[in-house]
Structure 1
Amino acid sequence: MVPCIRERAKTGPNHRPDWHDRGQVKTHGAVKSSPVTAPTSKATQAEVSISPRPSLASLTPNRSSSASSPTLFAIAGFKTYFGLLSPSLSPTASCRVPIFTPVTSPDHFQQLLSADLKRVSLVNFWAKWAEPCKQMNEIVAELAKKHPELLVLQVEAEEQEDISESFQVEAVPSIILLRGHTLLGRVGGVDAKNVTTLVDKHLGKTPLAQPNGQAEKREETEEELVARMHRIMKQSPVVLFMKGDPDKPRCGFSRKAVDLLREQKVTFTHFDILEDEAVRQGLKKLNDWPTYPQFIVNGEFVGGLDVVTEMASSGEFKEVCATA
């Protein structure tokens, strides 16, 4: 779990808060955040009224105006305000309109969804420490620019824990698509193709279906699945079933599991259960253990993170691995 980042109370004409100052959330518990306001200079208060989609025509300077004209003061206020936004989160340099809406609390989330129950919303669950989220954020940004009618909400999964649990989000990045409060679909991992297809489908922009030139893949039997899981468990002396991979773990518990094995100087292979739903569900039943990560030594299930952490503290885990 990650502590929340609260909005810092700073003022002054030269203060340019970064994205976190604007109330963006991390991932562990509910967060309360103050709304973003423009700099409080008298000029901007008196001259600038910034709407979510300001008219560019109204912001075009009159070349014949003097430097002290109200128009130029308005432009200066506009630039100062939108200078708060990260360039990576704005469609163009000429009009820095935010394309992500950071969710600051469950109430804020409900308010955004309820504003238009017919609007399609893309909810991007992410975490700052997860490297794949950076790539997914770029994909989502492109979709937001391509589909201005799409409401794009950013939820830091661990900080907004209540929201994450309500959608059963167990790993990041995860994409949830809604219409109002109705779930339309979900995509896990960095999967630009499926996210784009899902968005296009529910925005009414799905291309014509292509002819099916391949026979449908035969479904794996339960016996075949069990045999395959045993082969994976025996692929090396120590196997970690986790979410993501060791260099890019996709949940905090998997990251801790990798850190533990590296601290113990244990050589291991891994299996990403997010890439294989059959193994993900089947291994829970096979090992009678409902959560991940799972540690396997010599083809046998040893335990989950809490169990192995205790074993490592007592030195027992190193002894078990020494026989591998």
Structure 2
Amino acid sequence: MAVTNLATVDEFNTYIKSKDLTVIHFYAAWAAQCAQINDVLEEMGKSADYKGVNFAKIAAEDVPEVSLKFGVSAVPTILLLRNSVITDRVDGANPAELATKVKQQMSSKDPVPIEIPKPKENIEERLKKLINHAPCMLFMKGNPANPRCGFSRTIISILDSYNADYQTFDILQDNDVREGLKKFSNWPTYPQLYLNGELLGGLDIVREMGEAGELEAMLPKKVSLEERVREVIARGKTVIVMKGTKEEPKCVYTKQIMEIFDAIK
């Protein structure tokens, strides 16, 4: 069975309702260890040993409300669930531990839910972390693919018209954030747009700034894949694109080239 790519909160919530064992990898595209776990899940999905297990992945930074709800604070994190309930988890890149825990859950007739790690910080600390989650952060009803009110739909349209690079948080998924942010920023309505951790305003202010020609220059822009590649290879006179890190190479060829460079030094 192929690994399912989940892109939204709604897709995630629907997927985890299955009574079958469900394994979901919270990943980040920039993390080499996550690429390794994605490969492991692909192989597990093809193996008859894991027949009946659902495998999926979701970008942790794209669904911050889900990551917070399920105690995902770093990548890679793999959750094992049944009927929307977490029965086990693997923190970090540990394929052996993952395989063991999946086998254990497959053979368990009465899976015992595990406690989701509770954030230690209070609501104010959570809100500070959320508004600084990305340089441009939008708190809205719904998500960009499925706005749940006209104001949210309009502000998404404005940001997209400038090719803005932004992240969103669905306030309908977390009432503590929904009510807490109103008091924290002294702003009673949604959507709310933040730039570099500071409240810019709601729809009216964003629209007015756009009409005045003041908004576009303030917004971070999405970077194309080609531009990202150019940025990476321009970081130094010699740049190695590799599997793993210098300290922990993830393949034989990477290890060999590191040994060559270490010998040159």
In the superposition, the TM-score normalised over structure 1's length comes to: 0.32
Structure with the higher fraction of residues in helix conformation = 2
In the superposition, the TM-score normalised over structure 2's length comes to: 0.39
